[in-house]
């Protein structure tokens, strides 16, 4: 299976790493031969139809910051659209930064791939949160697959879990911590009393925050996930503007300490229920399933038949997010066997 990876930030590099780690295992377990035929970043691209070396891609990016320096197959200043025209691939891995104004240019990349009858795996929340129906319909019309497990909760299994493991159930509501960066900030503030700014800086260095970290702390990243969950597994037709959003930037150390003294933690919670589509800081009891630390995400799905089902897992991180992307790639491959 030939992969074209657009974007070589934390997630794109995670994909190269997991492919390097799992290439042989994929062949043995599933007969899946993964080849990266193109990778892009803002400098240009590396393109090779016989497959680029994932370790060399990572080394070149780390040493020089530019994927276009890849020996022999590097190309400067080629656009992502030109790469999509030029490259031979089966599945697009769209992992460029999330844009929450219009979902571009990721949305155009995805639609171009669909028109060319290619499947798409993405972690990009912008196009999904703003144009979910349009993308789903285009995939259907072109008879290709759109998979996006990595877009909600990184490695926390929720979308495929709801579709594939709970297909007997209607999901009535979802209540969850859907942003790793803010959970990391809030739990560190609660434990150590370190300053908000210092911890936010660390989250950026760890590669868990968005390229624009305001999206994390102002709650828009979690709101994108609320929209994706509502559309994907609760059959709604909503977009980002339908979500009421309050972030964590005004949460003070005093508020956290006060809550702790009463046995509570402050968490940024997303809620999707019959009359609520919201992201806001709320109190959760210490010791409850929502009292998860660090970059963990957690979500409770209220169902008609199975009652409450709660999932938890790392909500951000390069390898963790790439694990969900690789699972989607495997799922597409298996569906064609």
**Minimum distance of ligand HSE from residue 98's CB (angstroms):** 8
**Residues constituting the chain:** 337
Q: Which residue has the tokens 């990595």?
A: 150
**98: which residues sit within 8 A by CB, 6+ positions away?**
106, 124, 125, 126, 210, 211, 215, 221, 224
In angstroms and rounded to an integer, the radius of gyration of the C-alpha atoms of the chain is: 20
**Minimum distance of ligand HSE from residue 220's CB (angstroms):** 10
The yes-or-no answer on residue 225 being catalytic is: yes
C-alpha torsion 286→291→294→298, nearest 10: 180
5 burial type by CB count under 10 A (0-12 exposed, 13-18 middle, 19+ buried):
buried
**Minimum CB distance to ligand HSE smaller for 280 or for 303:** 280
Strands (DSSP E) along the chain, which ranges?
2-6, 35-41, 44-52, 74-76, 91-94, 119-122, 146-147, 171-177, 244-245, 264-273, 276-285, 296-303, 308-314
Contact 52, 70 (CB under 8 A): yes
**Minimum CB distance to ligand HSE smaller for 35 or for 188:** 188
Burial 168-177 (b: 16+ CB within 10 A, else e): ebebeebbbb
**Minimum distance of ligand HSE from residue 56's CB (angstroms):** 27
Please pick, among 61, 118, 125, 225, the residue that the annotation labels catalytic: 225
Whether the bond into 123 is cis, omega within 30 of 0: no
**Minimum distance of ligand HSE from residue 154's CB (angstroms):** 5
Binding residues for ligand HSE, per CB under 6 A? 154, 179-181, 208-210, 216, 221, 315-316
- Name the residue with the smallest CB distance to ligand HSE: 181
Contact 16, 39 (CB under 8 A): yes
- What are the angstrom distances between the C-alpha of 257 and each of 163, 209, 267, 283? 40, 24, 13, 12
**Minimum distance of ligand HSE from residue 18's CB (angstroms):** 16
Please, what is the Cα angle at 214 between 77 and 257, to 5 degrees? 150
**Minimum distance of ligand HSE from residue 17's CB (angstroms):** 17
CA dist 8 and 304 (Å) reads 41
**Minimum distance of ligand HSE from residue 88's CB (angstroms):** 30
List active site positions: 225
């Amino acid at each position: 299976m030939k992969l074209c990876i657009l974007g070589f930030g934390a997630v794109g590099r995670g994909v190269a790493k997991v492919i390097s780690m799992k290439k042989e295992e994929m062949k043995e377990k599933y007969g899946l031969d993964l080849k990266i035929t193109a990778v892009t970043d803002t400098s240009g691209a590396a393109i090779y139809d016989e497959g680029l070396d994932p370790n060399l891609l990572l080394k070149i990016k780390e040493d020089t910051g530019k994927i276009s320096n890849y020996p022999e197959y590097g190309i400067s200043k080629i656009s992502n659209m030109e790469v999509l025209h030029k490259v031979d691939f089966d599945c697009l891995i769209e992992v460029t930064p999330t844009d929450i104004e219009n979902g571009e240019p990721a949305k155009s990349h995805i639609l171009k791939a669909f028109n060319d009858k290619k499947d798409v795996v993405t972690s990009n929340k912008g196009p999904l949160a703003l144009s979910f129906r349009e993308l789903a319909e285009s995939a259907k019309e072109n008879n290709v697959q759109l998979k996006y497990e990595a877009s909600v909760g990184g490695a926390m299994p929720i979308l495929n879990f709801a579709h594939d493991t709970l297909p007997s159930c209607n999901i009535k509501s979802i209540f969850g911590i859907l942003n790793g960066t803010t959970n990391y900030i809030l739990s560190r503030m609660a434990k150590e009393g370190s300053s908000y700014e210092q911890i936010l800086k660390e989250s950026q260095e760890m590669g868990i925050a968005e390229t624009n970290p305001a999206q994390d702390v102002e709650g828009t990243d979690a709101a994108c996930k609320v929209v994706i969950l509502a559309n994907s597994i609760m059959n709604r037709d909503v977009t980002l503007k339908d979500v009421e959003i309050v972030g964590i930037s005004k949460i003070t150390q005093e508020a956290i300490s006060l809550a702790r003294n009463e046995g509570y933690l402050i968490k940024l919670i997303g809620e999707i229920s019959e009359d609520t589509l919201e992201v806001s800081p709320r109190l959760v009891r210490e010791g409850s399933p929502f009292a998860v630390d660090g970059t963990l995400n957690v979500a409770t799905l209220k169902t008609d038949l199975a009652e409450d089902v709660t999932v938890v897992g790392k909500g951000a991180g390069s390898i963790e997010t790439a694990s969900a992307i690789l699972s989607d790639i495997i799922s597409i491959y298996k569906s064609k066997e």
